[in-house]
Chain A
């Protein structure tokens, strides 16, 4: 928890700036939108976090979001499948993509960066070819299954804010991953593998299996995210749906305290990190800044956050050393 304090501070600062200078920030509608987007992005960021714990990286998240998201309406509308068949098929397919990455990385010892970079190109290409690059959508149908992402729960006493249903999968997944990491043998072993893979192997930790499972979980969560995104927005273009989402996911994980060296993670931090990025995006619009500046602002804030975090860490290390001496 202590290491999430930094990102919590940044989050609050961005929120305060946005609410003071942007008039519409604290409206129910905007906050509802923010909650929805945060939930969806946090889900894929948790997956990125699991891979980053192992010291790896997954650049294919955006393309998996696209492939899973595009396939869902494609199977439902173009091929007339039942939602009961589509959801399991898309999720199993996403997990198999992760298994493919994991096997290449642990068995063939290929570098995660390369494997998932190829994945980034591969899955988007497949999605565009499969759909002949045509926009895919639900055409006003399937409101039942889309309500997984669209349902809102009214909150007594609040008129304009309703809680989006997507916070339910986010909360369930966050709690499950937090318990997994800190309370189960596998989670402890995953963290140990990230800290020192070789020492973990000498200690009898099944490192190859754990790393593979981290990639499976990451792609599976990207698949879940892709489905929720498409349920939310209704239709999307295979050529741009999910573009750069891997970078939002990785940025959220890093802001949330994951070290790219591996072995460090905080589920709470990742969720707050994802929220911070979404507040930033909204704030840019609300403050009347050019939307073309979006990436520049996110990049600058990320850099400031990471630098501050590193400086604070060094300062506290020095202080604790002085205390011992």
Chain B
């Protein structure tokens, strides 16, 4: 049996490369029985990569993993598969729950290792044992209940029970509370605490620093694939974690004239998107203003942009220049909306078509006589847009899939620049784009705003938000956590709001709550 505080897992110089690019490097980690370790970091910091390595989903490119055997002696192991990890005592509770919907609880807990007698399922043993494990996670449910009928929080706990039933000593939870309500999250944190007192080691990833502060004995902070610090409970606060998460120095925002007096062009009132979270959102964007939507993955930024463009249905009012936007995407585009999607290959480009066709697609609608395309004028506007976007090589007949990512993105943005939309929505405007192309794209976005259009963009890269936005709206869990003007926006301030921190004193009347980080949201 494991002794309290015995070392269960030790990683040495763990690293992982994708196509030669390091996603994770030099990770030194030791985990003991009876402790809860939180892993935090920005999007892309390497958290998921680390969890995948520890749970056997992907092998490390370098470094070693040692796990305590039955006698408590650390032995080096090779985790080639999830099965290897399970056998070594590590169980992963996925972020996307993968319980088979058509099985009952007992069936899913013992999926793949069903107790059998003479080749027949031993249903009695299976159900008795399932009840035992369910009790351990505080679930009082009949093991014959079909998983499809369970609430998300209950499924999560069934997954935990399943992990325990594998005799796991190390439980790994990937964003366990991301789809839970506050009360359900509280319950899960309590159960994590119970597991700790039963001598298990619990490793979890979270975007909610409140939870981390509440339950974690130690916090490991990752940034750009490296560990920037491991903090012991009692020696850190929210600020310390945020500083380690953000850390790097960045370029400053280019000063743009203030827009407080300009007319409001986009007004969003009580918007509720198609997403399951139902907090209504309200905000406005003025003429000439560039507003950035910041927040962690899943905070609801894409939903807002897609709802405004009617890619997905919404409730609530969206007005452009005082007139309500209505109808489908095609109708809204005609009313002056333009959207640059996040997934360029799927929703942005026409890969096997010419650059020219890609760039003139929106323009031809507004510049045709009797719905007939004037091909000479079309060649003209395509040449003009390729020049303005600095698209290289400037060959209108080149197929778009032969262009680099940055030039592909320029062809999508150029499609809209050709019509000069009243409102430009961009989702991750420079994802996968190199630095110089990014600067050129940013310059064109600023130029469009200077001409009086409104720009609303979402970005996971704080650096981009800080460089481009005149004003930042920070989202957390589907609602607006706070707003920051360009001069107040810093990576630390944004991360504070994005991870569920209260707005700072200047923005909140609840000053006394604002400094008490340990209150749960």
Interfacial residues, chain A to chain B (CB-CB below 8 A): 183-186, 188-189, 192, 195-196, 198-209, 263, 324
Contacts and interface: CB of A to CB of B under 8 A. Distances in A.
B333 A203 contact: yes
Contacts of A184: 368, 371-373
Given A185-B368, A188-B357, A204 B346 contact: no
Contacts of A199: 341, 346-350
A231 B364 CA distance: 42
Contacts of A208: 328
Nearest to A264: B352
Contacts of B372: 183-185
Given A195-B351, A206-B328, 8 more contacts: A185-B368, A186-B371, A188-B357, A188-B361, A196-B351, A200-B361, A201-B311, A203-B361
A199 B353 CA distance: 12
A199 B340 CA distance: 10
B339 interface: yes
B301 interface: no
A237 to B, nearest CB: 43
A189 to B, nearest CB: 8
Given A198-B347, A204-B329, A205-B330, A192 B357 contact: yes
Interface in B312-362: 328-330, 332-334, 338-339, 341, 346-353, 357, 361-362
Contacts of B352: 195, 263
B437 to A, nearest CB: 20
A191 B332 CA distance: 21
Contacts of B371: 184-186
Contact of A203 (B362, B373, B375): B362
A207 B365 CA distance: 14
B16 interface: no
A207 B339 CA distance: 16
B351 A202 contact: no
B415 interface: yes
27 contacts: A183-B373, A184-B371, A184-B372, A185-B372, A188-B364, A192-B350, A192-B353, A195-B350, A195-B352, A195-B353, A196-B346, A199-B348, A199-B349, A201-B311, A201-B329, A202-B329, A202-B339, A202-B347, A203-B415, A204-B329, A204-B330, A204-B333, A207-B330, A208-B328, A263-B352, A263-B353, A324-B402
A186 B330 CA distance: 13
A183 B362 CA distance: 15
A207 B333 CA distance: 13
Given A196-B350, A199-B346, A205 B373 contact: no
A205 B348 contact: no
Nearest to A195: B350
Contacts of B339: 202
A163 B274 CA distance: 60
Contacts of B365: 185, 204
Which of the listed residues A183, A200, A201 has the most CB atoms from chain B within 10 Å of its own CB? A201
A184 B369 CA distance: 9
A86 B365 CA distance: 38
B493 to A, nearest CB: 32
B349 A196 contact: yes
A196 B339 CA distance: 16
B361 A202 contact: no
Contact of A185 (B334, B341, B364): B364
Contacts of A189: 361
A202 B350 contact: no
Contacts of A188: 357, 361, 364, 373
Contacts of A183: 372-373, 375
Nearest to A194: B350
Contacts of A205: 330, 361
A200 B330 CA distance: 9
A202 to B, nearest CB: 5
A183 to B, nearest CB: 5
A183 B369 CA distance: 11
Nearest to A317: B399
A1 B348 CA distance: 28
B353 A202 contact: no
Contacts of A204: 329-330, 332-334, 338, 362, 365
A203 B333 CA distance: 8
Contacts of B349: 196, 199
